[in-house]
Structure 1
Amino acid sequence: MSARNFALFSGIFFIAIGILGFVPGMVSIPPTQPDPELIVNTGYGYLFGLFPTNLVHNLVHIAVGVWGVTSARTPKSAILYCQAFAILYSLIAVMGLLPGAGTTFGLMPIFGGNVLLNLATAAIAAYFGFIKVSGIDVGPEDKGRVAS
């Protein structure tokens, strides 16, 4: 698999997750234990009963998905996507563990099962963005330089 394939597949995955977040049968009511308070409660629930989500979270997933799909067009943009995705989603995973920041300051839930999902996808993106980037096809402007 290449960075381009990861960008494409993760993009499709995040678009699908974002759309599924709008499907009532896929989102269950929050558990009985109190969750952190959100400013945006629209569409709040647990996707597949595991991942807290709301309207803003679904829209962010769709936007990240579109970013991934469009980044898959060229090796350079796919690698940049993987690198940025790895950094951003690692930070989001850490935020999900912090009180107050676990709801992106009330806008969307990034706590609970989201932390592990964000860490796992960030780790895979880091692999394709930082580790497995040698041997990529480069454009004419990069001829003679080794991709790192």
Structure 2
Amino acid sequence: MAVRYFSLVIGFIYTLMGLLGFFPGFVEPGHAPEIMAQVATGTTAGFGYLFGLFPISTVNNIFNLIIGLIGIVGFLGTEPAARIIADSFAVLFGLLTLLGLIPFANTTFGLMPIFGNDVWLHLTTSVLAAYFGFGLDNGRLRNQPNQALQVQDPYERTKFL
């Protein structure tokens, strides 16, 4: 049940960030990195800093909305579905954290900014998602006997034919 509530909280936070990024009152203007303007026209649209902390753009806002909605859907589904979503978030945000640390990749190759405080946000999301997705298995793996280790005769070999 905890993994479903984690999915709901992450979904709510990222949906809120995605929505607030479209309102100028919450976004402090800033200059987009030059690589974003060189890669594709329009990727610098809406660039600024949400609450003056998190670099965002229109593409980033849409990404945050999608992640948020996936998190909310994970809460509405079953616990295994929420666990898969948490596992996926752990891997995805772990990769985004690493990309944010590499200077030439910290704008997701010019598509959306993932530098500055976004690195800390993605790292925190990744660690929490790994804890709830991979870490809390409710004894699933511990309580199931391993069939491969239950051999009647330890000297018996597998017969192929």
Give the alignment's TM-score, normalised by structure 2. Answer: 0.79
- Rounded to whole Å, the distance in 2 between the matches of 1:133 and 1:58 is 32
Question: Percent same amino acid at aligned positions?
Answer: 41
2:50 is matched with which residue? 47
Matches within 5 A, 1:1-148: 2-30=2-30, 35=33, 37-38=35-36, 39=40, 40-72=43-75, 73-135=77-139, 146=144
Shift, 1:86, TM fit: 0.5
SS class of match (1:95):
helix
Structure 2 portions without partners, runs of 5+: 145-161
Structure 1 portions without partners, runs of 5+: 137-144
- Rounded to whole Å, the distance in 2 between the matches of 1:5 and 1:68 is 9
* Deviation string, structure 1 residues 93-112 (Cα, Å, up to 9, x no partner): 11001122100110000000
1:97 partner letter: L
Q: Is the 8 A contact 1:15 1:64 kept in 2?
A: yes
1:52 partner letter: P
- Rounded to whole Å, the distance in 2 between the matches of 1:76 and 1:132 is 12
* Deviation string, structure 1 residues 103-138 (Cα, Å, up to 9, x no partner): 0110000000000010011101110001112157xx
Aligned residues: 136
RMSD: 1.7
1:93 partner letter: T
Residue 116 to residue 36, structure 1, CA distance change in 2 (3 Å)? farther
Give the alignment's TM-score, normalised by structure 1. Answer: 0.86
